[in-house]
Chain A
Amino acid sequence: MRRIVASREMLLLVAIALLLGLVSTRFPGFVEPANLVAVFNDTSPLILLAIGQMVVILTKCIDLSVAANLALSGMVAAMTNLAVPDAPIVAILLVATGFGTILGMINGILVWKLDIPPIVVTLGTMTIFRGTIFLLTEGKWVNSHEMTHAFKAFPRTELLGLPVLGWVAVAVVVLFSVIMTRTTLGRAFYAVGGNPNAAAYVGIDVGRTKFWAFTISGGLAGLTGYLWVSRFAVAYVDIAGGFELDVVAACVIGGVSIMGGIGSVPGALLGALFLGVIKNALPVVNISPFWQLAISGGAIIIAVALNAQANRERGRIILKRAEHAA
């Protein structure tokens, strides 16, 4: 299994390299280091959410409320900034992340304690979160001239050539690489999705593990909410509309199995980067907006087909070994 995951990551790396090569034939400036940094920076929100989503999908669940959570947490961060302009950025970060975590916990509790299918729970909370933003703001925007300079400057501040937004993504990737491979909780996510019955037998509380997965996804969405609102310097009801589908797509392209139990942080990272490169390349290669949608969709279908292929091969190998044993 590890070999397949590794090969998926190699495959994605090659695909991204090919894509970059293809784009550079039409627009050479795209592969300049400064632009690649900009592309990574632009993809950071997607990377953050994809890692949270990966954890959820590993447990055989799905979180469709991430984009709505992002929008609500971002709005709460922006309104905090309006109400308390002197609040330090650390406080804003804590408010946004904390608020997102609570929203994630709501999803988690509903899935854990009431045993409602995750797709239904998060479809519901998705609309509830968006509706809550409308109730909070009556549909009004929080605009750039109302935000403080420090609020907007944080994700833009450059350290060693990469904006803080990008560094946050790097930090989260490193942190979750450790959590997913070196901690009990991290391994529990795999166990719960890979074989829930076996997980229960070895003493893992399946419901509680799912709860933590949703909590992590919510916390990351909350953090991203502040970064998003600050980066685009505007907060309103519809920000990041439909972004949850990009997030799920990034996971699927990154080799995270929708059936649970298979996936890795590097996979989710590369899946997000693959989409990020496409999103950033399409505006400069000058093709019709209708083709842009078709290309994104095509990439997802190819990825799912590859996932299915990988799973099928694994099944055959097990059978052959079983035959040999017999």
Chain B
Amino acid sequence: MKRRTFTSILAGFSLAAGLFGTAAAAQDMRIALVVKALGIGFFEAAAEGAEEAAAELGNVEVIYTGPTDTTAEGQIEVINSLIAQGVDAIAISANDPDALVPALKKAMQRGITVISWDSGVAEAGRQMHLNPSSNALIGNMIIKLAADHLPDGGQVAVLSASATATNQNTWIAEMNKVMGNYPGIEVVATVYGDDLADKSYREAQGLMQSYPDLDAIIAPTSVGIVAAAQAVADAGKIGEINVTGLGLPSEMAGAIQSGASRSFAIWNPIDLGYSATMIAHALATGAATAAPGAEIPMGRMGSITLDDTNAAAMADPFIYDSTNIDQFKSIF
């Protein structure tokens, strides 16, 4: 009996908040983009994407905010202040998956749409989570990057982090699943640089010695890809061996300039901020609902379909090469 009263009161509250929210949306919808900390290039770029989405949608104001250091406490303060301001939606990249749940629950009880992106929040604390990409998409991308420059097939080798690194092993396993789509591409070896610059460099040298006909080195790790590119450059094999994989534009700019790496991939923060804003808008206006299997549109980024945990992957990792490296190398 007591419980029913409580839930009905709660329903009343959220209905009122919902009405209030809808009323506000008629004027100007306010979407808060909460990041891990202010002043980080990656998130500044995400905010740029959010502004792009806001301009496209019209009548949307993006509030780009976050703590000054990457702490959960700082983010909780930010969330509380956003609740007080009565924003319509919060899209957050979390510093801690669990610590933020109570504050975000409070926001949802006030009728605020809450989603997480980039770095997720536990299921109870958000309506949906947007991953930048998925293991399957990454696994496919790393072999595609190598294969795209090898129309006649060739030998590629993988330079991973440590032999026990879960994420790297998952990506390599996903890569092996789709090898059938890339006929003529042969993975001759998988070696481990332990995310140490010197060991990765030595392993890359070893690959070049053991496989004189090697065409590409795939390094799905930011330390490994930089070290392998340097090893290829020092061996005078630029043009013969293409180093590719996952890396950050600021760290890989030199390798792209020297030609040791033709292209590499990682998430595009601009697209990520854009998509998060689009999704937050769709959920806050009621144009879409967050439920397993639901499809949510994301403007120019297409659409996503939520899985059982209300999470989804945005897109393939974004490809960086000589045409766009200068734009991104100062961002992250």
Contact = CB atoms under 8 A, between A and B. Distances in A.
Interface in B239-257: 250-255, 257
Contact of A234 (B191, B192, B251): B251
B198 A232 contact: yes
Contacts of A288: 163
The interface centre, meaning the residue of A144, A279, A286 with most chain B CB atoms within 10 A of its CB, is: A144
A33 interface: no
Contact of B250 (A35, A141, A241): A141
A326 to B, nearest CB: 56
B230 interface: yes
A143 B253 contact: yes
Contacts of B195: 238
B207 A283 contact: yes
B253 A232 contact: no
A272 to B, nearest CB: 14
Interface string B183-211: 00000010110011111011101110110
A240 interface: yes
B98 interface: no
A286 B227 CA distance: 20
A42 interface: yes
Interface in B207-264: 207, 209-210, 226-227, 230, 234, 250-255, 257
User: Interface residues of B toward A: which range?
Assistant: 20 to 34
B196 A241 contact: yes
A124 interface: no
A30 B205 CA distance: 12
B255 A27 contact: no
B105 interface: no
B258 to A, nearest CB: 8
Contacts of B197: 232, 234, 239
The interface centre, meaning the residue of A30, A234, A279, A280 with most chain B CB atoms within 10 A of its CB, is: A234
Contacts of A243: 198
Interface residues of A, number: 32
B202 A279 contact: yes
A283 B205 contact: yes
The interface centre, meaning the residue of B202, B207, B329 with most chain A CB atoms within 10 A of its CB, is: B202
B192 A27 contact: no
Given A233-B230, A289-B163, A143 B206 contact: no
Contact of A232 (B189, B209, B227): B227
A284 interface: yes
Contacts of A228: 198
Given A143-B254, A156-B234, A286-B210, A232 B192 contact: no
Interface of B: 162-163, 189, 191-192, 195-199, 201-203, 205-207, 209-210, 226-227, 230, 234, 250-255, 257, 329
Interface of A: 27, 29-30, 35, 38, 42, 45, 141, 143-146, 156, 228, 232-234, 238-243, 279-280, 282-284, 286, 288-290
In the complex, the 3 A-B pairs of residues with the closest C-beta atoms, listed nearest first = A283-B206, A144-B254, A145-B254
Given A35-B209, A240-B198, 12 more contacts: A27-B210, A29-B209, A143-B250, A143-B252, A144-B226, A146-B254, A233-B254, A234-B226, A234-B251, A283-B205, A283-B206, A284-B209
26 contacts: A27-B210, A30-B209, A45-B198, A141-B250, A141-B251, A143-B251, A143-B252, A143-B253, A144-B230, A144-B255, A145-B254, A145-B257, A146-B254, A232-B198, A232-B227, A233-B226, A233-B230, A239-B197, A240-B196, A279-B199, A282-B206, A284-B206, A286-B189, A286-B210, A288-B163, A289-B163
